[in-house]
Amino acid sequence: MNLLIPKTKLPVCYLLYLFVLAAVQNNVDGVDSSDIAILRTVGVGMPHSCPFVYKARMPSAQDGLINCTWYSSNACCKRTEVTSVFSGMLPLDTPSTMDKTTAKHCRNLMNYMMCYFCDPNQASWYNRTLNVCEGFCEDVYSYCGKAGYSGKTIGEQFASGAEFCEAQTFRVIPGDQQCFKFDPTVFDASERVAQSFLLMTFCVLVFILY
């Protein structure tokens, strides 16, 4: 996927949305025979398809999803796609002065947001734009305001959670219907996903002069 960068200001990292889109669309997994077989039954664009990744793909069980393991039983993403996305992003810095509980919840929120392309219910919140619930964006801003990338915190770069999400090219939706929202239960003690701080990454906008 080729991106045209204007000669004004540009992000050090590509927007999360564009980065994930490129990583997924350039992946060789694409549509397999099982996807085609299901499509002959339900058709393209049905509620249970994966329109963000590829309309012809259907959710299925996947192993080795790294930081997105809660989707393993039914995912729109493939192992190689998750690996590609996470390996190409930069580390999220949470300062030592940050409360441990806050830092942990921040990492969980960011981790969950990064795995949106794996969500098997993406047909309910994706339609040419990625619709994210406003509450999710504000929670990220609230818990991760002091976290950031390369010395630039999210709180310094953005005035609100909505502004942060819009900078990622997400469409912010009031309420919690037909939008991607955080599910804290996947990080509960009984279902906790083992996370490596080094793998916990996120791409935020840090503007510099071209």
**pLDDT over 50 (residue 105):** yes
- Predicted pLDDT of residue 179: 97
Is 149 domain-assigned? Answer: yes
Q: Which helix (H) or strand (E) holds 148?
A: strand 148-149
Total structural domains in the chain? 1
Is 82 domain-assigned? Answer: yes
Q: How many residues comprise the chain? A: 210
**pLDDT over 70 (residue 25):** no
Distances (CA, A) of 149 to 120, 174, 203, 206: 30, 28, 8, 8
Domain that holds residue 26: 9-205
pTM of the model: 0.71
- Which of residues 72 and 128 earns the better pLDDT score? 72
The alpha carbon of residue 48 and the mean position of all alpha carbons in its chain are separated, in whole angstroms, by 19
List, for residues 110-120, the tens digit of each pLDDT value.
999 999 999 99
Orientation angle between helical segments 79-87 and 16-25, nearest 10 degrees: 140
Is 122 domain-assigned? Answer: yes
Is 49 domain-assigned? Answer: yes
Taking the C-alpha atoms of residue 184 and residue 76, their distance in angstroms, rounded to an integer, is 20
Is 56 domain-assigned? Answer: yes
Minimal CA–CA distance to 54: which of 45, 62, 65, 67?
Answer: 45
Is 121 domain-assigned? Answer: yes
Is 1 domain-assigned? Answer: no
- Predicted pLDDT of residue 97: 87
- Predicted pLDDT of residue 4: 28
Neighbours of 6 (CB within 10 A): 7
Under DSSP, the state recorded for 36 is H
Taking the C-alpha atoms of residue 41 and residue 30, their distance in angstroms, rounded to an integer, is 19
Is 2 domain-assigned? Answer: no
Average pLDDT over residues 94-121: 92
- Please give the angle made by the CA atoms of 208, 105 and 169, to the nearest 5 degrees: 40
Sorted by sequence, the CB contacts under 8 Å of residue 69 that are 6+ apart come out as: 193
